[in-house]
Amino acid sequence: MSDQVSHMPSPPSALSRLSGLATPGVTAVVLVTLLLFLPALLGGSWTFTLGLCFANSIGVLAVSLLVRYGGEVSIGHTFFTALGAYSVGVLDTRYGISLWASVPLALVLGVAFGLLFAWPSRNLHGIYLAVTTLALALAVPEMINNFDGLTGGYEGLYVATPFLPGVDMGAQRYYVALAMLVLVCFAVARLRLSRQGMALLLAKTHPAAADAFGTRRVWARISVMGISGGVGALCGATLAFSGSTVSPGGFTFWQAIFLLVGSVVSFYGLSLPRVLIGGAFVTLVPQLLSASGAWIPVLYGLALLGMILIGHYMPRIRKALNRNRETG
């Protein structure tokens, strides 16, 4: 009897049954449900910070999109985030127009400038394209200051018009950012299943094969930059609304680097959990380290290294845990 029992396959544990249910869709739904109720458990300042975290997650997603679909790295995405943020800021401050109109404008401008940037740089790759995007990042603060009549210069702009009149503004700054992040992640997940998304992936790995089946590699490169620029602008629009202020300090070269760091930390993931990890790293780590004085750069570097190592060894750790569970 005991032999028979020992040869029978052991029933799946509750944990393994749960992990079997954890499809990307289910994980995203659970995560969003948790985030919907989080403000009820947290204080106002944390709710505000998480709103910024969601906005930065969209920026991380914009950079990761360029890597995953175009095979290129950008160190200048603050150009697009600034474009989105000032679309919201200028329309709100100067004309009292809310997100209903400024977000579509931000998206259109982000896509348009992405395409405009991509056309002359369509034959640049790797480090050459990255350095070209650097020029964008370096130009942004100067451009904002030069157009101070519109942008408010160093002082910036204050975004105060509610998205939904009559609803608490603090809650709006959190939930609008969350909704925007979920919508962008959903749209990007749809892109992966579309003919255009598949063609972009083929063009990234085998441009000649993509060409041979009707996908021009120039079209692919320009399209990816347009999409990434549009998502970058949505990040900026969300940052402006959730952060309530728009100023040149939010769009420096270092902010562009932090978006790239967030993308690396999330291993260029495009799913909601992955981009949230990247956005949380960009937003929360500097905040958590803010009391560390001169140690901030060192601790930030260690945190970055730790995240990369955890991500790198995670598959092995998971495999070892599964093995232990099976033998146990």
Partner residues linked to 246 by β-bridges: 157
**Shortest Å distance, C-beta 190 to another protein:** 5
Per-residue x/- mask for another protein, residues 46 to 85, rule CB under 8 A?
A: ----------------------------------------
Judged by CB under 8 A, the number of residues near another protein is 26
Nearest to 142 by CA among 213, 248, 5: 248
| Interaction between residue 194 and another protein (CB under 8 A) | yes
| Interaction between residue 33 and another protein (CB under 8 A) | no
Task: Between 167 and 212, name the residue whose CB sits nearer to another protein.
Answer: 212
| Interaction between residue 198 and another protein (CB under 8 A) | yes
Per-residue x/- mask for another protein, residues 257 to 276, rule CB under 8 A?
A: --------------------
Q: Phi then psi for 213, rounded to 5 degrees?
A: -115, 20
Burial label, 245 (beta-carbon count in 10 A; 0-12, 13-18, 19+): middle
| Interaction between residue 319 and another protein (CB under 8 A) | no
**Shortest Å distance, C-beta 86 to another protein:** 24
SS3 194: coil
CA-based radius of gyration for the chain = 22
**CA distances to 101, 176, 180, 247, 278 from 96, in Å:** 10, 18, 21, 18, 33
State the CB neighbour count (10 A cutoff) for residue 284: 17
HSE, side-chain direction, 13 A CA sphere, residue 236: 38
**CA distances to 10, 29, 117, 229, 274 from 185, in Å:** 38, 12, 24, 15, 10
| Interaction between residue 323 and another protein (CB under 8 A) | no
Considering only 124, 139, 179, 216, the residue that binds another protein (CB under 8 A) is 216
| Interaction between residue 112 and another protein (CB under 8 A) | no
Q: Phi then psi for 202, rounded to 5 degrees?
A: -65, -40
Considering only 171, 202, 257, 308, the residue that binds another protein (CB under 8 A) is 202
Angle at 300 between CA 77 and CA 42, to 5 degrees: 85
Considering only 8, 193, 291, 294, the residue that binds another protein (CB under 8 A) is 193
Q: Which amino acid is at 99?
A: L
Task: Between 162 and 207, name the residue whose CB sits nearer to another protein.
Answer: 207
DSSP 155: T
Contacting range for another protein; rule: CB under 8 A; set: 9-17, 77-85, 198-206, 271-279:
198-206
Considering only 65, 99, 136, 201, the residue that binds another protein (CB under 8 A) is 201
Q: How far apart are CA 255 and CA 252, in angstroms?
A: 5
Considering only 116, 131, 209, 298, the residue that binds another protein (CB under 8 A) is 209
DSSP 245: E
Considering only 108, 167, 212, 321, the residue that binds another protein (CB under 8 A) is 212
Contacting range for another protein; rule: CB under 8 A; set: 40-48, 192-200, 252-260, 315-323:
192-200
Subset of 170-189 contacting another protein (CB under 8 A): 187-188
Contacting range for another protein; rule: CB under 8 A; set: 151-159, 214-222, 253-261, 279-287:
214-222
DSSP 13: P
Considering only 190, 312, 319, 325, the residue that binds another protein (CB under 8 A) is 190
Task: Between 158 and 219, name the residue whose CB sits nearer to another protein.
Answer: 219
Q: How far apart are CA 188 and CA 270, in angstroms?
A: 7
Residues that bind another protein (CB under 8 A): 187-188, 190-191, 193-199, 201-202, 204-206, 208-216, 219
